Amino acid sequence: MTASVKTLGIVTFAPCGDKDQSLFKVNPDIPVGEALEHASNLFYYAKKLMLDAAMEPQGERYAWPAYYLCEMGKAVVDDLSQALLPATTIELERI
């Protein structure tokens, strides 16, 4: 079943502007394995940045890059969740 699952391309991220617009969107038709591998890499590097932020005296400079990497990874996972669970209504939390 999961071999045919692909991203739907409906989840947006990076809110900006006055009208609750999003700057980016997950692209449709990316196979589940490739999308999850990419999300895993995003979370891995976010984790590394957060560790540096916690351990270094001026670690706050790592906070925003880690935040954006997590936002991108979450968008991929949320998009795949909707593809895998189409019959269920999923309320996605916007960060």
**Domain count of the fold of the chain:** 1
Range of the domain at 72: 2-84
Residue 31, SS3? strand
Q: What is the mean pLDDT of residues 45-53?
A: 94
The answer to whether residue 93 is domain-embedded is: no
Spatial contact of 58 and 21, defined as CB atoms under 8 Å apart: no
In a domain, 92, yes or no: no
Phi and psi at 40, nearest 5°, equal: -60, -40
- pLDDT bucket at 54, cuts 50 / 70 / 90: very high
Residue 81 CB partners (closer than 8 Å, separation 6+): 90
Q: What does the pLDDT read at residue 95? A: 46
Which residues pair with residue 22 across a beta bridge? Answer: 15
Res 93: pLDDT: 53
Mean pLDDT, range 26-34, rounded to an integer:
96
Residue 35 lies in a domain: yes
Task: Give the pLDDT confidence of 59-91 residue by residue, as tens digits.
Answer: 889 999 999 999 999 999 999 999 988 765 455
